[in-house]
Chain A
Amino acid sequence: MRFKLHVWRQSGPNAKGAMEAHDVDGITPEMSFLEMIDLLNEKLLADGKEPIAFEHDCREGICGACSMVIDGVPHSPERAVTTCQVHMRSFQDGDDIHVEPFRAKAFPVLKDLVVDRDAFDRIIQAGGYVSVNTGGTPDANEIQIPKVAAESAMDAAACIGCGACVAACPNASAMLFTAAKIAHLGQLPQGQVERGARARAMVEQMDAEGFGNCTNHYECMDACPKEIHVEWIARMNRDYLKASLTAKD
């Protein structure tokens, strides 16, 4: 297969970027999208040019490192996949493919397709700790967790923090990510003590990072490789409002 790849090239954080076209040939349908870029990079290196910088780690769809917008959609228009799990068989031979970095003020571009997603780490840090009893090793199943709560918490915990929700949101809002993280611990008995304080701290940090506001477009949900549901945003709204209205400070 052969493609015409239009890739965003930007030499550094404050440099001006632009799309650059490359013809890629000799691609097989079973190659992943990242392997296709690997092949192009080898060619670029052989020609003495700068390879395309992009993030990747596990290449099995669970780490959330591979962040790029393919043909206008984070992780490509294919549903519920990360970029590393997109295969070239999803494209037609001869296609023009556009690849760009995630774009948001809170995710500044570092180089080419690599963006700085530390803002997500700071939101997680703002969540603080979960209180647990110290002492001897607890017995298994000492804390009873209803099956439904465990499953539901896991649905929220499936978020891998890749940032596709921010990239897809017309307002560059991080509400799906933050909501999933709040809902994850907020549904478990261990997370109850700090539930309200955590919701407030994480929302405040999210706002401080310069993400946009949610206007219920739900683009995030369709772009999410883990199909995190916007119901968590409604839950976050409830948790945050209840905590703010009952706060003593």
Chain B
Amino acid sequence: MSSLRNALRSSVGSKTLMALTGLALLGFVLGHLVGNLQIFAGQEKLNAYAQMLKDSGPLLWGARIGLVVVFVMHIATAIRLTLANRAARPDAYVVQVNQRTTYAARTMLMSGLIVLAFVIFHLLHFTLGVTHPEFAAEGMVDSAGRHDVAKMVVLGFQSIPVSCAYVVAQLLLGLHLMHGVSSLFQSLGVQHPQLAFLERGAGRAVAAVVVIGNCSIPLAILAGFVPEGVVL
């Protein structure tokens, strides 16, 4: 076990850890997106899906705890590596010119921390109803007695500042994914001339899907969209 623990703390092992936890978080982001997009299929579909998740009990809690563990590992490793990287160059260059690196790659820590702040706000907003107590109140139920997720989302996104915050956070998440997804192949050792397209295009493709998909909901609601069945 000691060799495995040492390996995970090494530079190469830490990189693997970043890639694997990032991949797990990406899985959640994509699953969450697919779930959310059901709002376009109407209130019935979305609320039934939300109820199904709520009813999955231990499975739901397992997934939640797993996600928190992965999230904490991803962030803690990133901070540890960033501090080590800063220590590795104590004296800065007077003149430094970058030739290849991207804005997305250079701002991973910042985009990541802003997304973290957004995730906390998002949980307080919709999941826990701290910022908007009416979202978690007894009255937020549909005709079948389920939590009315569709109505809550519509009410939430009718606020222009809230929708703007969501869109900005998604753009930053997209920036984070652009570098993260493209570089996880390299980090995990997947490198082959015939797979070069993955490294070039996967980050942008995934970022585009996530940004467009997630932003479509607040933007549609701001434009006046109300899911079928929602009574405001």
Contact = CB atoms under 8 A, between A and B. Distances in A.
A223 B98 CA distance: 10
A157 B91 CA distance: 31
A73 B84 CA distance: 22
Contacts of A231: 191
Interface string A154-177: 000000000000001011110100
Interface in A57-79: 69, 71-73, 77
Nearest to A97: B95
B36 interface: no
A233 interface: yes
A73 B97 contact: yes
Interface in B1-51: 2-4, 6-7, 10-16
B93 A213 contact: no
B189 to A, nearest CB: 4
Given A217-B101, A234-B186, A240 B7 contact: yes
Contacts of B94: 6, 8, 19, 98, 100
A73 B16 CA distance: 29
Interface string B121-148: 0000000000000000000000000000
B107 to A, nearest CB: 11
Nearest to A217: B101
A175 B13 CA distance: 13
A173 B92 CA distance: 14
Interface string B97-131: 11111000110100000000000000000000000
B76 to A, nearest CB: 14
B74 interface: no
B90 interface: yes
Contacts of A100: 93-95
A171 B85 contact: yes
A244 B13 contact: yes
A237 B89 contact: no
B88 interface: yes
Contacts of A217: 98, 100-101, 105-106
B230 interface: no
Contacts of B101: 170, 217-219
A104 B87 CA distance: 9
Given A217-B105, A234-B189, A171 B96 contact: no
A249 interface: yes
A170 B10 contact: no
A168 B96 CA distance: 9
Contacts of A73: 97, 99
A150 interface: no
A212 B85 contact: yes
Contact of B88 (A72, A200, A211): A211
Interface in A98-136: 98, 100, 103-106
Contacts of B220: none
A47 B186 CA distance: 53
B16 A241 contact: yes
A34 interface: no
B105 A216 contact: yes
Contact of B7 (A19, A172, A244): A244
B11 A72 contact: no
A216 B13 contact: no
A103 B186 CA distance: 26
A206 B13 CA distance: 13
Given A171-B85, A172-B89, A217-B105, A237 B97 contact: no
A173 B11 contact: yes
Contact of B11 (A71, A104, A206, A221): A206
A207 B12 CA distance: 9
A14 interface: no
Contact of A240 (B12, B106, B179): B12
Interface of A: 6, 8, 19, 69, 71-73, 77, 98, 100, 103-106, 168, 170-173, 175, 200, 203-204, 206-207, 210-219, 221-223, 230-231, 233-238, 240-241, 244-245, 247, 249
Given A19-B94, A200-B7, 15 more contacts: A103-B92, A104-B88, A172-B88, A203-B12, A204-B6, A207-B10, A212-B88, A215-B183, A218-B101, A230-B191, A235-B191, A237-B189, A241-B13, A244-B7, A245-B7
